[in-house]
Structure 1
Amino acid sequence: MAHISKNIGFRTLFWAGFWIFLLDQASKFVVVQMLGLRHVQRIEVLPPFLEFRMAWNQGVNFGLFSGMDMRWVLIAVAFAICGFVLWWLRREGGSKIVYISAGILIGGALGNIVDRILYGAVADFLNMSCCGFENPYAFNVADIAIFVGALGLVFFTEDKKKKARKNK
Structure 2
Amino acid sequence: MAKSKKTFSSKPAGGSMAPWLGIAAIIILVDQLTKITIEKLFTYGEELYVTSFFNLVLAYNKGAAFSFLSNQGGWQRYFFTTIGIGAALFIVYLLRKHAAQKLFCWSMSLILGGAVGNVIDRMVHGHVIDFLDFHWRGIGHFPAFNVADTAICIGAGLLILDELRRVNK
TM-score bracket, shorter-length normalisation: 0.7 to 0.9
Structure with greater proportional helix content: 1
- 2:50 corresponding residue in structure 1: 45
Shift of 1:89: 3.4
1:65 to 46, 69, 73: 69
Counterparts in 2 of 1:104-115, with a 5 A limit?
A: 104-115=110-121
Q: Give identity over the alignment, percent.
A: 28
Shift of 1:131: 3.0
Compute the TM-score of the two structures, normalised by the length of structure 1: 0.82
Asked if the contact 1:12–1:99 (Cα under 8 Å) also holds between the matched residues in 2, the reply is no
Counterparts in 2 of 1:151-166, with a 5 A limit?
A: 151-157=157-163
- 1:23 corresponding residue in structure 2: 30
Counterparts in 2 of 1:138-153, with a 5 A limit?
A: 138-153=144-159
Per-residue CA deviations over 1:58-93 (Å, capped at 9, x if unaligned) read: 001111100121111111101111122222333344
How many Å separate the matches in 2 of 1:13 and 1:89?
A: 7
SS of the residue aligned with 1:56? strand
Q: Where does structure 2 lack aligned partners over 5 or more consecutive residues?
A: 1-12
- 2:6 corresponding residue in structure 1: none
- 1:14 corresponding residue in structure 2: 21
Largest Rg, 1 or 2: 2
Asked if the contact 2:20–2:105 (Cα under 8 Å) also holds between the matched residues in 1, the reply is yes
Shift of 1:13: 1.0
Q: Where does structure 1 lack aligned partners over 5 or more consecutive residues?
A: none
Per-residue CA deviations over 1:81-135 (Å, capped at 9, x if unaligned) read: 1122222333344522221221111111111111111110000111011234221
Compute the TM-score of the two structures, normalised by the length of structure 2: 0.81
RMSD: 2.2
Counterparts in 2 of 1:77-88, with a 5 A limit?
A: 77-88=83-94
Q: Which amino acid aligns with 2:31?
A: D
- 2:132 corresponding residue in structure 1: 126
Asked if the contact 2:20–2:95 (Cα under 8 Å) also holds between the matched residues in 1, the reply is no
How many Å separate the matches in 1 of 2:98 and 2:109?
A: 15
How many Å separate the matches in 1 of 2:163 and 2:87?
A: 17
Aligned residue pair count: 155
